[in-house]
Structure 1
Amino acid sequence: MKVIVCVKQVPDTSGKVAVKPDGTLDRASMATIINPDDKNAIEAALTLKDETGCKVIVVTMGPPPAEGMLREILA
């Protein structure tokens, strides 16, 4: 069995929040984190792996800097 977890980066709103003049978030100037709900899904998948021996696959459609996020998850 394989468990596939989709993850994405989201702006870290606990730090500096930048807003554009039109009222939208300026994501380019904000730090990013792994979506907390996605972290929960990864933990659930790893629990299943420990119980059943299944394979866990994590994917993202993020920009090239998302590679760092995937490496963090791998660690």
Structure 2
Amino acid sequence: MPNKTISVPDDVVPIIESLHVPFSRWVTDQLRRHAAKSTMSFADQLIADAALAAPEGLVPPDAFEVGERMERSAPW
């Protein structure tokens, strides 16, 4: 997988340095922990968000399929 670059504010750099682990490893661990705690799939989360945002709670009929496709293509 190619390396990704992110920009952080200057005041965050000391916090990153105090972790005493490579920042990329810390981010990866945090994302894995978050994914393990998540009880809903990404597709289900998208449907729930769409239901909240849609007028009168209406969700397009293909929304679940779109969410599943996005979940399958996600890099994580």
**Which structure has more strand as a fraction of its residues?**
1
Please give the range of the TM-score, normalised by the shorter of the 2 chains.
under 0.3
Larger Rg: 2
State TM-score, norm by structure 2: 0.27
**Which structure has more helix as a fraction of its residues?**
2
State TM-score, norm by structure 1: 0.27
Higher relative contact order (CA 8 A, sep 6+): 1
